[in-house]
Amino acid sequence: MLQGRTADQKRKLAQRITDAMVEEAGARREGIVVTFVELSKESYASGGVLMVDK
């Protein structure tokens, strides 16, 4: 995802992703790892155009 999310937003996302894996996939909560990969707008392109240029 693009950079800019707060720590609180990431906490909430991690919780919801974990909840979904437990509920829908039957995964063990303690076995779920969520990793956020953040990219700068200069390091990500969509449709051949850098996000910084959109």
- SS3 sequence of 1-20: CECCCCHHHHHHHHHHHHHH
Residues 6+ away with beta carbon under 8 Å from 40: 2, 3, 52
> CA–CA separation, 3 vs 5, rounded Å?
6
Write down the pLDDT at residue 5: 97
Q: What is the pLDDT of residues 3-50, one digit of tens each?
A: 999 999 999 999 999 999 999 999 999 999 999 999 999 999 999 999
Q: What is the pTM of this model?
A: 0.82
Q: What is the pLDDT of residue 22?
A: 98
H or E element: which one contains 41? none
pLDDT for residue 2: 95
Which is nearest to 12 in space by CA: 38, 42, 34?
Answer: 34
